[in-house]
Structure 1
Amino acid sequence: MTLPADASATDAELLRIRGFLSAFTRRQAERTVDFPGGFAALDDAYALSHGNNHVLVDGTPDPAALPGVVDELLAHLPHRTVYVPDAAVGRACAGPLREAGYTRAVVLLMRHTGPVPERGGAREVDLPALRGPVAESWRRFLPDASDEVVGTLVDRRAARLRGAADVRFLASHDEFGEVASWADLYVDPATGVAQIEDLVTAEPYLGQGHAGVVLDTALRLAAAAGATTTFLTALADDWPRHWYARRGFVAVGEVHCFERA
């Protein structure tokens, strides 16, 4: 991963982004359980969602002890998920977690560094407007998932309303008013940090520019709400990171994501 030349500025931005992720996770959770080096974020209403029931390592835990801590905290769940937003800590924890049967994926934290787009075009929508399109997208991404799992992945969006002071759901529509592409926008005016999350385009509308419309609108709204740092996440080994880079996003850090079924 290539980072910007101004390392001190990058470090400051990265600390702000990590702080936002930790605070958002705590606020979104139904309950949290702290341990030395992090906490478990839990929500029984969405027990099948890894994104709502996981361990977030936002400090410096004992890597050797971490697998046992996670087993204890998530003992009531069939899955184990651990997010580590500090790349150095993630590398330190990788060995013990791998030996405990975890797989690892690396997600880039990408900060927008270009000018704020002059045009948008998407509009804010409510959750019911997204239920159908989001359900269809999950069936596309997870064709073997049960209706219960898909329902959980759709319904969990409601919990995100707790995560930040300003949470908006944005969508671009076709000429008939059907939702074509969508994303979440979370803004914390107190810290000036915003996150764009879950940018997805419905399959019939791929390649028609709807995702760009949603992204540009989110960037405009974030700036208007006072955000001076706007970021999103992208898998390090997948194509969207390159699309985001062409639109002014630069990788400033990594989240190491560990999972065990």
Structure 2
Amino acid sequence: MTTPPVLVHLVEPAAWRAALTEGALRPPSLADAGFVHLSAPEHVHRPAGRLFPGRRDLVLLVVDPARLEAPVRWEPGTAEDPPDLRFPHLYGPLPTSAVVAVVPWRPPVPPVLPAPDDAFGRAQALQTSLQVRRAAEVRDVPGGVAVADPRFSHSRDDNTVVLTTQVDAATVARTTAAVAAELDWPVAAAALRWPGAGPVAAELAADGWEATELVVMAREAAPLPGGDAAEVVDQRALHALWDRSWRRGLPPLPELDEVVAQLIGREHRTGTVVAVHDVAVRAAGRPVAAGQLRVDGATAAVEAMMTEPAARGRGHADAVLARLVSLAAGAGCDLVVLEADAEDWPRHWYACRGFRVVGSVWEVVATR
């Protein structure tokens, strides 16, 4: 039987998070039957209905068959399946390095499954899947979902509308305003994450919305020299650095202390969903530059790159980035992605370090 470009496996998020630590997924079927149940994408609804009826909190692992070392055999499913239907059974553990994307399973909404060579699609899968898996509440909306967490009301990343399928500007505005009003968000915000969302963002900007283009950049996860000055640290060691950095980026609001406390307080949750590595360069014993790597299978994302103003120009950011990319390679990733403001200088800094632009997304915020 011809193997499709990707195979899929449905799993509970906690089991996938444990696999990221172990480097491989070993579900009970591996011990009981000797193999891991995989599916062609068009057939995954069958095991989903049998094993997880009504569940919408699962994740779908998108597997590149070319990265599997153990044999895959196409064999019959259960007695309820058509007699000529065959399922791919992996006779060995599923390595996390073979999983090119992790996609929320929210039937009847069809999942978007990026191809192994689709850097933009894999970047979007990581970002949106993380937001959904980390959210306290997820709601279906036209074109995507709304994620919410009232504990961190000042975090737009945790209280926003995330759209991965094209809708028009009027739908974005209407949906975002309605959700923001119902959930009492401080601002109405949406992320437009489908390819070619620029015209819709421009239409919203013409209607008074604040629209920011973020370029999605990617590079190979090959070890980089120069990371020896940076070390992996406990995330709590970075709280003071984050506090100083985020205060510099915020206006002097009366609730500033609460805003910063929420931005710091939200961060520990990411490590419960994906594998997180925090890296820093110290000077006089305290972190002065830092960055974070988020690993989700074969894809890793660089986040929260920052350097104290007084410590800039000394190569600290280069050391942090080199350590992060090398950590991604060591975790079995083949792709490292990030997002940068299209109008700001860091995008050019990243380009000089091997990152290429693979697409754009837009963040829009209502200003009235």
Asked if structure 2 preserves the Cα contact closer than 8 Å seen for 1:29 and 1:159, the reply is no
Counterparts of 1:31-46 in structure 2, within 5 Å, are 31-46=137-152
Counterparts of 1:39-188 in structure 2, within 5 Å, are 39-75=145-181, 76-95=184-203, 97-98=204-205, 100-113=207-220, 115-121=222-228, 122-145=230-253, 146-164=256-274, 166-174=275-283, 176-188=284-296
Cα distance, 1:161 vs. partner?
A: 2.0
Asked if structure 2 preserves the Cα contact closer than 8 Å seen for 1:54 and 1:82, the reply is yes
Cα distance, 1:163 vs. partner?
A: 3.8
1:199 pairs, out of 302, 305, 310, with 305
Asked if structure 2 preserves the Cα contact closer than 8 Å seen for 1:33 and 1:40, the reply is yes
Question: 3-state DSSP class of the match of 1:208?
Answer: coil
Cα distance, 1:104 vs. partner?
A: 0.6
Cα distance, 1:229 vs. partner?
A: 1.0
1:16 aligns to 2:122 (yes or no): yes
How far apart in 2 are the matches of 1:133 and 1:113? 29
How far apart in 2 are the matches of 1:252 and 1:11? 11
* Amino acid in structure 1 at the alignment position of 2:128: S
Cα distance, 1:160 vs. partner?
A: 1.9
Mark the structure with the bigger radius of gyration.
Answer: 2
RMSD across aligned C-alpha pairs, in angstroms? Answer: 2.0
How far apart in 2 are the matches of 1:180 and 1:99? 40
User: Highest relative contact order (Cα 8 Å, sep 6+), 1 or 2?
Assistant: 1
TM-score by length of 1: 0.88
Question: 3-state DSSP class of the match of 1:88?
Answer: coil
Q: Which runs of 5+ in 1 are unaligned?
A: 1-8
Asked if structure 2 preserves the Cα contact closer than 8 Å seen for 1:112 and 1:230, the reply is yes
* Amino acid in structure 1 at the alignment position of 2:267: R
How far apart in 1 are the matches of 2:206 and 2:305? 34
Task: Give the structure 1 partner of residue 334 of structure 2.
Answer: 228
* Structure 1 outlier segments of 4+, above 4 Å: none
Asked if structure 1 preserves the Cα contact closer than 8 Å seen for 2:166 and 2:194, the reply is no
Question: 3-state DSSP class of the match of 2:126?
Answer: helix
Q: Sequence identity of aligned pairs in percent?
A: 31
Task: Give the structure 1 partner of residue 324 of structure 2.
Answer: 218
* Amino acid in structure 1 at the alignment position of 2:307: T
Question: 3-state DSSP class of the match of 2:314?
Answer: coil
Cα distance, 1:185 vs. partner?
A: 0.7
Cα distance, 1:244 vs. partner?
A: 0.6
Asked if structure 1 preserves the Cα contact closer than 8 Å seen for 2:222 and 2:326, the reply is no
Greater shift in the superposed pair: 61-70 or 112-121: 112-121
Report the count of equivalent residues. 248
